Structure 1
Amino acid sequence: MKRLKTALAAAACVALLADAGATTVRVHYDAGKGSIAILGDKAPMSWSKGVTATRLEGTNIWTYSWLDELGDIAIKPALGDKVSVGGVYKLAAGSTVDIYPFFGAPFGKLKIVPDFESPQLQNKRSLRIYLPASYEENMAKRYPVLYMHDGQNLFDARTAAYGVEWRVDETVNQLVAMGQMDEVIVVGIDNTPERISEYTPCCDPKYGGGKLDRYDAFIIETVKPYIDKTLRTLPGKEHTAIMGSSLGGIASVYIAQRHPGVFSKAGGVSSSFWWNKRQLVAKPPHVPVKFYLDAGTRNDALEDTLLMRDAMLAQGYRENEDLMFFKAEGASHNEASWATRLDKPLTWFFPWGGTRQQ
Structure 2
Amino acid sequence: MKRRTTTIAALGALLALTALTAQQAGATTVRVHYPAGKEGIGIIGNKGPMSWSKGVPAQRPEGPVNVWTYTWPDELGEVQMKPTLGEEKISIGGAYTLAAGSTVDIYPFFGAPFGKLTIVKDFASPQLNNKRALRIWLPPSYAENPAKRYPVLYMHDGQNLFDARTAAYGVEWGIDETMNRLIAMGKAEEAIVVGIDNTPERIAEYTPCCDPKYGGGKLDAYGAFVVDTVKPYIDRTYRTLSGKENTAIMGSSLGGIASVAIAQRYPDIFSKAGGVSSSFWWNNGAMIAKLPARVPVKFYLDAGTVDDGLPETTRMLEAMRAKGYRENEDLLFFKAEGARHNETSWAARVEKPLLWFFPWGSTKQ
Kindly report which structure 2 residues correspond to 1:1-358, keeping only aligned pairs within 5 A, or say none.
17-57=22-62, 59-80=65-86, 81-284=88-291, 285-357=293-365
CA distance in structure 1 between the aligned counterparts of 2:177 and 2:24, rounded to whole angstroms = 46
Contact map agreement 2:255 2:275 (CA 8 A) in 1: yes
CA 1:11/1:41 → structure 2, altered by over 3 Å: closer, same or farther? closer
Contact map agreement 2:153 2:191 (CA 8 A) in 1: yes
Contact map agreement 1:291 1:323 (CA 8 A) in 2: yes
Per-residue CA deviation, residues 81-121 of structure 1 (Å, 9 max, x unaligned), is 11000000011111111000000000000000000000000
> What residue in structure 2 maps to residue 3 of structure 1?
none
Contact map agreement 2:117 2:137 (CA 8 A) in 1: yes
Contact map agreement 1:144 1:239 (CA 8 A) in 2: yes
Task: Read off the aligned partner of 1:188 and give its amino acid letter.
Answer: G
Q: Which runs of 4+ in 1 moved over 6 A?
A: 10-13
> What residue in structure 1 maps to residue 9 of structure 2?
none
How far 1:21 sits from its partner (Å)? 1.0
CA distance in structure 1 between the aligned counterparts of 2:30 and 2:40, rounded to whole angstroms = 15
How far 1:325 sits from its partner (Å)? 0.2
CA 1:43/1:16 → structure 2, altered by over 3 Å: closer, same or farther? closer
Contact map agreement 2:160 2:168 (CA 8 A) in 1: yes
> What residue in structure 1 maps to residue 3 of structure 2?
none
> What residue in structure 2 maps to residue 5 of structure 1?
none
CA distance in structure 1 between the aligned counterparts of 2:47 and 2:167, rounded to whole angstroms = 49
Task: Read off the aligned partner of 1:33 and give its amino acid letter.
Answer: K
CA distance in structure 2 between the aligned counterparts of 1:226 and 1:66, rounded to whole angstroms = 42
Percent identity at matched positions?
73
Equivalences, count: 349
> What residue in structure 1 maps to residue 7 of structure 2?
none
How far 1:18 sits from its partner (Å)? 4.0
Task: Read off the aligned partner of 1:301 and give its amino acid letter.
Answer: G
Per-residue CA deviation, residues 277-304 of structure 1 (Å, 9 max, x unaligned), is 1111114220000000000000000000
CA 1:14/1:259 → structure 2, altered by over 3 Å: closer, same or farther? farther
How far 1:12 sits from its partner (Å)? 11
Contact map agreement 1:120 1:218 (CA 8 A) in 2: yes
Q: Which secondary structure state, in structure 2, belongs to the residue aligned with residue 54 of structure 1?
A: coil
CA distance in structure 1 between the aligned counterparts of 2:16 and 2:204, rounded to whole angstroms = 61
How far 1:33 sits from its partner (Å)? 1.5
What TM-score, normalized by structure 1, do the two folds share?
0.95
Contact map agreement 2:132 2:197 (CA 8 A) in 1: yes
Task: Read off the aligned partner of 1:169 and give its amino acid letter.
Answer: D
Which ranges in structure 1 are unaligned for 5 or more consecutive residues?
1-9
